[in-house]
Amino acid sequence: MNQHIYQRRPVSNSAIPSVIFGLLVANGLVFAAQQMQPNMMAYYFALWPLGSPRPEFQVWQLLSYGFMHGGLNHIFFNMFGLWMFGRDIENVLGSKRFLIYYLTCVVGAAIVQLTVAWMQGGIYPTVGASGGVFGLLLAYAMFFPNRTVMLLFPPIPMKAKYFVLGYGLLELYLGVSGRSPGVANFAHLGGMFFGFILLHRWRSSRRS
């Protein structure tokens, strides 16, 4: 996607744009609530499969699960990814569209995860902002394909388009092979897929 399709609109002079700041705070508050009431939070707000016995799936879980996390490492890396890749995307899309995009990716990831859980017959909860973060990764590669990003492990510089393509293929491999039990690999891919569909729709509407 060519960057000129969207008008760059600086939304803040801060290192943390307004929507990202709000999402960071919201995730932090929900994580704190999880530490105080872990069973209650998981019961009502984690993403439970369709047709599961108590706890049951509720429609608000399509969003609420994306603000919950399974531990400090989980929330740290997701929030780091939200901040690192989301800042430029919020500046490109503007605050309103950025929030719509991020939440669409979260819900899209949930829909894919529910489908996979239904096909597998599994009864397990899903939590985490990874679907939204993977949607941001996809947007970053589409807006800034040749920008260099640095891998953490190992620390290798790589163009964004290759980084995201490789990450997506790895998630697909891990999901199909089952080599990363406990990780919602298809939900990550779902966030990327729904993000791509939304960006394509916005691009088409601007050209028409």
Distance of alpha carbon 175 from the chain centroid = 16
Instruction: Based on the residue annotation, tell me whether 18 is a catalytic residue of this protein.
Output: no
3-class SS of residue 158: strand
Distance of alpha carbon 66 from the chain centroid = 8
Tokens at residue 117, please? 């859980």
Q: What are phi and psi of 150, to 5 degrees?
A: -110, 120
3-class SS of residue 128: coil
Tokens at residue 163, please? 């980084």
β-sheet bridge partners, residue 126:
47
Q: Which of 69, 95, 188, 208 is catalytic?
A: 188
Q: Which of 14, 64, 130, 204 is catalytic?
A: 130
DSSP for residue 95: H
**Do the Cβ atoms of 35 and 103 come closer than 8 Å?**
no
Instruction: Based on the residue annotation, tell me whether 177 is a catalytic residue of this protein.
Output: no
- Residue at token pair 């400090």: 72
Residues labelled as active-site residues: 130, 188
